[in-house]
Each structure stands twice: as C-alpha cells, then as structure tokens.
C-alpha cells in the first residue's frame, strides 16, 4: 500500500509540474505577443504632438521651448531666467578726457602673441579675426628674446597687439617691454590681454607695473554691461544676463586709478568668496573686463578676467578690436540675412507642412517684418514633388501656392537630381524647363534671378554645363553654396563670380532635414538654444555682414524649428546688440556683398580630389589625373622654350597641348584664362596612360613675375614641382627689348635700349610699360620669395640658364633627378650642337639637328657698355638678395651670378 501511494503521489506531482511549465510557457508567449503588438501600435499610430516651442520673448524670458503658460520669472540660474534692465550711473567727480585712437600710421594688421600654436584661446582669437577677415600675424609670446620687427619705413606694421596671456606682456624683459610700449605710444597702438586663472594663480595680486589689482578663483553671477564704457559699439548695454557664470575660475579687477573703466561686471556667488576682497555688500558689482583709457602711461588697453569661452566676451572682444583700431578693423552695424527654405515640396509623409504650418509661416514672417525690414522667406521648389504627401499635407502645398505672392521663390531641379550627373547641357536645360513649366502653370514668380542646386552640386567644383543651362533657361545671376572653398571651417567660406553668375557663401544654422522635433534635437534642445543665445548661429550674424541661411521644408512642419530659431535669433540679436538687421532680394544682396568684399570677385580654383565632399559632387567623367605634376614658370627670355623642347623629348614626360593663341604656353594662372575654370585648363592635357610614372607639365614664362600666379598655382597644384630658369638679368632685359623690336613695338622701335631702361617717371606710358617688362622680372629674389610663400623649398629648382645653353645634357640630368622621373634619359645622345644657330637642338635621323623656329636665337648687336654698367648697378642689391636666398635654400649659385658678383665687387 505504501508503494502504491508513493506512485500515485509521484504521478500527481508530475502532472502539476507539467501544468506549471505550460503556464509559464503561455505567459512567455503572451508577453511576446503583447510586446509585438505594442511595437506595431507605437510605430504606426500618429505621435501625440506637443505644442511647438515658443520663441524667446522680447528681451525677457529665455523661451527655450517653454510651453504655453510656463513661467519665465524668478532669479534662477542660466539662460532661462528673466533679465532686468541695468542703468549704471556715471561715477561722480570724474571727468576723464579720453584720447582719440589714431593709429593711421600703421598697417591694418593684428599682432597676436599666443602661448603655443595649439592653445585653445589662441585658436579662438584667430578664429574671430579670420571670420571678420582681419589680417593678422601670430607669434609665440617671448618671455625673453627678440620682439618681432614692429616698424618698416617709418610706418607701424601692426595696428593692434593681442596677448593670449597678459602675464607674458607684463613680465617681458625690460628691453622688449620698453620697445613695445614706445611703439604703442608713438603709433597709437592698443593692447588686448587675457588673464585666465589656473591652479598656480594667487588669490590676489597686483598686475606688475600697473595700478591694478587682480582677485582670482571666483564664482560669479548676474553679468552686466557698463553703459559708460567707451568701447561699446555693437554691444547693447541695457541687459543683465542673470544666473551663475560657468566655472569657478573668474578674475576681477580693482583699482582706484581713473584710467580704468569697467566694461563687464558681475556679483560674487557667495559671501565666502569675498574674504580676500575686503568689506562690501554681497551683491557688489566687480569688473571682469576693464578698459584702460591710457591715462596712466598713454597706452589704451582692454583686459579680460577670463578667456573667450563665454559668449559675451566674444561680443566685447569684437568691440575692443574696433575701438582700439579707431574702427579700422571693424564691420558696420548693418547685417543682411536671407532665409532659404530648400525643397519646399520635397519631403517624406509626416515631415511636410500642413495648413496650420503655412499659417504659422505667414504669421512669423509678418512678425519678423516688424523687426527686420523686408524680411521674406525664400522658398526653393522642385515641381515634380508637388502633392506627394498625405491629403492634409497636400492641402498645405495648396495653401502655399494660394499665398505664393507673399514669399520669394527660387528653382531647384525639376526632379531634385544633382546637376553634375548631367553631362549634356541640353538634357540639363530640359529638366529646368520642366520646373519652369510647373512654375508658370501655378503662377509662381520666377523673376528673382536666383537658384540653388540640390546638394550644391555643380556650383563648386564648377560644372560648366550647370552655369550654361542656368543662364539660358532661368537667366540666373546669383546662386549660393556652402562648399567654396570648403564646407569647414565655416569661417573660411567665401564668394566668387564665374561665368557672370555671382556665387555667395551659404551658412548652416543647425537645422537639417532630420531636425524636426525640439526635444529630439541632437545633443538636446539646449544645444539649439545655446547656438541661438551667443553660440554659433549668433556669431555667424555677428561676424558676417551678409548671411544666407539654409533651412529645409521639414524645419517648418511638426515643431516648426525654423520659425522658432529665427524669431528667437532676431530677438536675441536685437536685445544684446545694436546691429541693424534687414533682408534684401538675392541680386541686390550679391551686389552688396561684392561691394563689401571686392577682392572675392575672382575665384581661387582648388583641386576637387583633395576634398572628399567635392569629389562626390564632381562629374565622374572628370579626373584630377589630367593635371600637371610640374610647371616651368619662366621668366621670359631666359631659355624656357628650349627647356620645354628638351623636356618633351623624355619618354615619360608629356607637355600640355599647344594653344592656338599662345602656342606652347597656356598662361592659365597669370591672366584672363583663369576665369575659364579648371575644366578648360584640364582640356590642355591628355589622359595619362600611367598615373604614377607619367609626368605632365606646362610652361608659361609669365607665371614667374605675375603676383597672383603662385597663390593660384598652389591652390590647384599644391604638390607640383616648380622650375625657374635664371640668366643674367641684364641680358634678360636686353633680350626682351630686342624681342619687342622684332614684334614691332613702337616704344622699342622709337627708343634705344639705354633710353628705355633709364626713362624717368614722366616718360610716356608705353615707354614706361616697356621699361617695366624689361626690368621687373629681373628682380629674381622678390619673385622667388613670393613663390616660396606658397611652395616648400624642396619643390623649387633653379635652372642655371647659362649652363642650359652651354651644357644642356648636364642640366637635364639634374632636372630629372629633381623631378624623380624614370628612366633617366640620355640627353647627350638626344641633342646636338647647331653651329649656325649657336645652340643645342634635337638630334634626328642621320645626326641632323632639328632646332626651334626662326624667332629663337636671333642675332643682334651687343649691349652697350654704358647700358650694361647701368643695369649692373640697378640689379646689384637684387643679385645680393638672390645670393642670400640661394644660400638659405642650399641651392648652387648659377655661374652667371658668381661672375656678376665678382665683377661688381671688383668695380
């Protein structure tokens, strides 16, 4: 019985365990099904849409996406707190005469002393100077040692001096400090200095040599602007930035001397911080930025008690530069902004504008017009995508068109394809005509003269078919791109003009096609607000007189971040600055831009293959392999044509195709041919059969002494090697004169050579032109130094022109080794001397010579001793400079230079 009972019990227990397992398995299946259903529901049901963020209120609450009804009051920290106006009374009993800044006897260049080339503050200083297009020079701050040369020919070389670390300035050795202070006082040059406390900084100390005390390692709050500070220009002083300032390493300045005027002031965070400041109320104001009016030693200065990390410091720094240079380094208060809304009909369902979004767009545009004269959203369209959303979004498209005359409109491509993919102008133009037909059918205005290519394709690097089609179909006169010369850093973006179309730089504003919701902004919504409130977006407006901002359709649906961003930005700019914002149509905007920056009219072509983004939007039918590996730059009448013919004999070296106008010379980097663009230039070169071993080159002898040629060549061919052929400059001048006589130049025919080179400044213009072309190229060191500003010394090879004439095989062997070309070609067998011509020529079948044309190797009378003596004296210093340059480069002296220097020394 016991055994039977035990068996029954085991059976019951097994059944129960089986049921428990089944129950657990059923629960697992139920959970999985529930999760799958929930995922499906979440992904397919519409989101519960939150109210779009509210833009910042007028010089009040921080906005920052506060929902309707949320409080903006209180004294809480950070950007969200309410700001109260500040009116600081002027100090009683101090009538301080301020000496007007006059540094007109200086060049408009800033001298920046940095701690190292990698220091963060130094890089921020340089970034602001570059963004403002101010010329500057950086030097490692000397503790001891030589100060850079400050004057040249009774003019100051610098209009402003900036020290990243003001202690390096005050602790200069006596000699250099006296030298710098005398320069600043005599030439009216101011000094900007920064003091950033570190772990070794004293809590309190007197600034050496100044009646000024520093108190460091402080936590501060509630930043204020002193309206009495003379340097204020852009900065508007009626605001208080409430809340704690970032960090506990602030420095304040104290002084009883009347030369110091506070610029920015703040309160300490706590009473503990005041123990080394003496007695005073907790909320007493302390100066963190002071302006030295020059009443102490005649030198005006601005000193910062921290770095440039805080946005208000950047604003005051820009004002300090303007004030201390007498507004020579300063932009006007006018700022022009244009907001482009790209792809107004292009977008996935759920990202497009609905009727309510269009209403909000119109309302915001009307509000902004009260703040920014003529403000108008500029809408870009690709007609193929009209009515491709949901029914609700299609109604939004219709409403846009009903109010089409309220906006400006510009075309993209009909199907939003990238123009560089079209190699046939006719096909590209047909795509544009489809878009034009759509515009005409829907009454969209098309007279703006402005267009933007999808993804900036074809604008830069230039796709010539795009420019041609734009002009023929739309009569486009203006476009914009973020790609010239490169996307990043943005401060380097510039404009240019090509094929009569003005290309303006375009700016991003932190909004992209995927930035749709405020709370899902990359890095958090605070990143967007930070950009608006003194960050990247604010600085873009501050440092650029003209800004075209790129936004997208998706930024105006859902949370309408485009509206939030620009309404907030405009209000913030007007709260904190005196800038006058306005909007102009693109053609007028382009005219304004090139009035401000006329030097940007001419482009600087760069190699598309050196930038991955550029290569991606460059035609696949083009290749950078069709660019030369070396250049023969001249100068003229030194034997460059002979060198060209000798190089062309080498089996691995290929010359450019001849030009129907300039023969063996392309003359691309030196004149109007440059405007034709790199496609035109590359057409002069074949496709290499072997990229690594084939050496293509071009010879243009006027590159040598053309001012812009080195910069242009280095931009497109930064790795190219450079060959220059030098002969006695006196002989070169005489040869050019005879060359012009042979070409019937009246100035050469009617004047002797001596009369040409000795002509005075009152001589006829044509005579002075001939004189300049005779004499200027012979200042060899001057022109070589210009090339060495853009190329490394190991990229430059000086060819001895005299030796090239007498022993070309030896010269060509040296050139081959310099180029690294293989195999080494035997020029001894390839060349033969022609007695009748008087120089070496190509040896052809039967040992006969094949020489250059009749124009080469002309015979003419010897130069008169009188003229040679005059030129020897004229070129004496130039030849000495060439000697020093070649010694510095480690290059051998040409035989003619040794002879000339010996002859001049003997004389």
Mean pLDDT computed over 834-853 = 80
Residue 787 has pLDDT above 90, yes or no: yes
Over the stretch 712-750, which tens digit does the pLDDT of each residue have? 999 999 999 999 999 999 999 999 999 999 999 999 999
Alpha carbon distance 810, 261 (integer Å): 72
The answer, yes or no, to whether the previous bond of 635 is cis (omega within 30 of 0) is yes
Alpha carbon distance 150, 156 (integer Å): 6
Mean pLDDT computed over 95-121 = 87
Quote the pLDDT of residue 2.
Answer: 47
Over the stretch 639-682, which tens digit does the pLDDT of each residue have? 999 999 999 999 999 999 999 998 899 999 999 999 999 999 99
Whether 410 contacts 379, CB under 8 Å: yes
- Report phi then psi at 276, rounded to 5: -100, 10
The per-residue pLDDT of the chain, averaged, comes to: 89
Active-site residue list: 637
Q: How close are the terminal C-alpha atoms of the chain, in Å?
A: 142
Alpha helical stretches, state H, 512-650:
525-532, 536-543, 561-576, 586-596, 612-616, 640-647
Which of 553, 382, 546 lies closest to 453 in space, CA to CA? 382
Over the stretch 489-540, which tens digit does the pLDDT of each residue have? 999 999 999 999 999 999 999 999 999 999 999 999 999 999 999 999 999 9
Alpha helical stretches, state H, 141-173:
166-170
The Cα-based distances of 312 to 125, 131, 278, 304 in angstroms read 14, 17, 28, 11
Quote the pLDDT of residue 65.
Answer: 40
Whether 434 contacts 442, CB under 8 Å: no
Alpha carbon distance 619, 457 (integer Å): 9
Least confident among 77-91, 267-281, 449-463, 486-500 = 77-91
Residue 46 has pLDDT above 60, yes or no: no
């Amino acid at each position: 019985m016991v055994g039977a009972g035990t068996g029954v019990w085991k059976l019951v227990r097994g059944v129960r365990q089986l049921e428990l397992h089944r129950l657990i398995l059923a629960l697992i299946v139920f959970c999985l099904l529930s999760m799958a259903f929930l995922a499906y529901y979440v992904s397919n049901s519409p989101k519960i849409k939150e109210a779009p963020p509210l833009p910042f209120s007028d010089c009040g609450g921080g906005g920052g996406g506060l929902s309707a009804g949320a409080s903006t009051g209180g004294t809480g920290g950070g950007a969200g707190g309410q700001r109260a106006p500040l009116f600081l009374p002027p100090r009683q009993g101090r009538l301080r005469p301020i000496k007007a800044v006059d540094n007109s006897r200086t060049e408009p260049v800033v001298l920046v002393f940095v701690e190292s080339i990698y220091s963060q503050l130094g890089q921020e200083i340089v970034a602001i100077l570059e963004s403002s297009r101010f010329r500057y020079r950086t030097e490692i701050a000397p503790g001891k040692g030589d100060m850079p040369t400050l004057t040249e020919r009774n003019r100051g070389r610098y209009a402003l001096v900036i020290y990243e670390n003001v202690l390096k300035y005050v602790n200069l050795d006596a000699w250099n400090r006296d030298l710098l202070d005398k320069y600043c006082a005599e030439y009216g040059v101011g000094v900007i200095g920064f003091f950033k406390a570190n772990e070794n900084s004293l809590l309190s100390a007197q600034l050496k040599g100044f009646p000024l005390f520093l108190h460091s390692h402080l936590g501060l709050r509630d930043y204020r602007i002193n309206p009495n500070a003379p340097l204020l220009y852009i900065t508007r002083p009626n605001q208080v930035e409430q809340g704690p300032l970032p960090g506990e390493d602030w420095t304040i300045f104290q002084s009883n001397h009347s030369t110091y005027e506070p610029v920015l002031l703040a309160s300490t965070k706590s009473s503990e911080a005041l123990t080394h400041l003496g007695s005073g109320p907790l909320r007493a104001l302390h100066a963190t930025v002071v302006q030295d009016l020059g009443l102490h030693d005649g030198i005006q200065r601005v000193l910062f008690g921290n770095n440039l990390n805080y946005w208000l410091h950047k604003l005051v720094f820009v004002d300090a530069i303007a004030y201390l240079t007498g507004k020579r380094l300063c932009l006007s208060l006018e700022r022009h902004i244009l907001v482009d809304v790209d792809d107004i009909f292009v977008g996935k369902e759920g990202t497009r504008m609905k009727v309510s979004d269009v209403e909000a767009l119109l309302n915001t545009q009307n509000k902004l017009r009260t703040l920014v004269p003529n403000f108008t959203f500029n809408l870009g369209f690709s007609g193929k995508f009209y009515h491709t959303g949901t029914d609700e979004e299609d109604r939004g498209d219709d409403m846009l068109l009903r109010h089409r005359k309220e906006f400006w409109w510009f075309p993209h491509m009909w199907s939003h394809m990238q123009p560089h993919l079209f190699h046939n102008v006719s096909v590209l133009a047909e795509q544009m005509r489809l878009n034009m037909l759509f515009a005409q059918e829907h009454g969209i205005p098309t007279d703006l003269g402005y267009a933007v290519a999808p993804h900036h394709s074809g604008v830069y690097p230039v796709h010539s078919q795009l420019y041609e089609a734009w002009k023929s179909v739309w009569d486009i006169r203006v476009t914009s791109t973020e790609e010239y010369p490169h996307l990043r850093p943005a401060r380097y973006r510039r404009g240019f003009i090509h094929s009569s179309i003005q290309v303006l730089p375009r700016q991003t504003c932190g909004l992209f096609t995927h930035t749709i919701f405020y709370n899902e902004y990359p890095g958090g919504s605070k990143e967007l607000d930070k950009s608006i409130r003194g960050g990247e977006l604010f600085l873009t407006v501050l440092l650029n007189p003209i800004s075209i901002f790129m936004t997208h359709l998706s930024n105006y649906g859902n949370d309408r971040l485009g509206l939030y961003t620009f309404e907030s930005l405009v209000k913030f700019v007007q709260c904190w600055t005196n800038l006058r914002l306005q909007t102009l149509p693109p053609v007028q905007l382009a005219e304004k831009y090139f009035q401000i920056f006329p030097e940007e009219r001419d482009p600087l072509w760069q190699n598309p293959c050196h930038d991955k983004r550029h290569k991606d939007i460059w035609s696949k039918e083009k290749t950078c392999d069709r660019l030369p590996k070396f250049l023969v730059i001249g100068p003229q009448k030194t034997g460059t044509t002979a060198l060209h013919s000798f190089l062309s004999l080498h089996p691995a070296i290929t010359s450019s195709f001849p030009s129907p106008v300039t023969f063996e010379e392309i003359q691309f980097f030196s004149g109007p041919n440059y405007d034709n663009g790199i496609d035109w230039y590359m057409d002069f070169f074949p496709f290499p059969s072997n990229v690594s071993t084939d050496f293509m080159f071009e010879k243009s002898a006027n590159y040598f002494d053309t001012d812009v040629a080195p910069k242009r060549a280095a931009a497109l061919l930064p790795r190219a090697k450079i060959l220059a052929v030098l002969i006695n400059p006196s002989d070169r001048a005489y040869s050019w004169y005879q060359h012009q006589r042979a070409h019937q130049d009246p100035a050469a025919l009617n004047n002797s050579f001596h009369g040409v080179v000795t002509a005075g400044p009152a001589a006829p213009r044509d005579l002075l032109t001939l004189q300049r072309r005779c004499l200027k190229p012979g200042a060899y060191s001057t022109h070589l130094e210009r090339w060495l500003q853009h190329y490394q010394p190991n990229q430059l090879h000086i060819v001895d022109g005299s030796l090239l004439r007498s022993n070309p095989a030896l010269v060509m062997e040296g050139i081959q080794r310099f180029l690294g070309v293989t195999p080494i070609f035997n020029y001894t067998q390839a060349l033969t001397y022609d007695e009748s011509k008087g120089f070496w020529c190509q040896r052809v079948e039967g040992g006969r010579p094949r020489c250059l044309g009749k124009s080469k190797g002309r015979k003419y009378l010897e130069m008169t001793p009188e003229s040679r003596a005059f030129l020897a004296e004229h070129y004496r210093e130039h030849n000495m400079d060439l000697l020093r340059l070649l010694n510095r480069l480690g290059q051998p002296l040409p035989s003619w230079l040794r002879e000339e220097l010996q002859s001049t020394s003997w004389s």
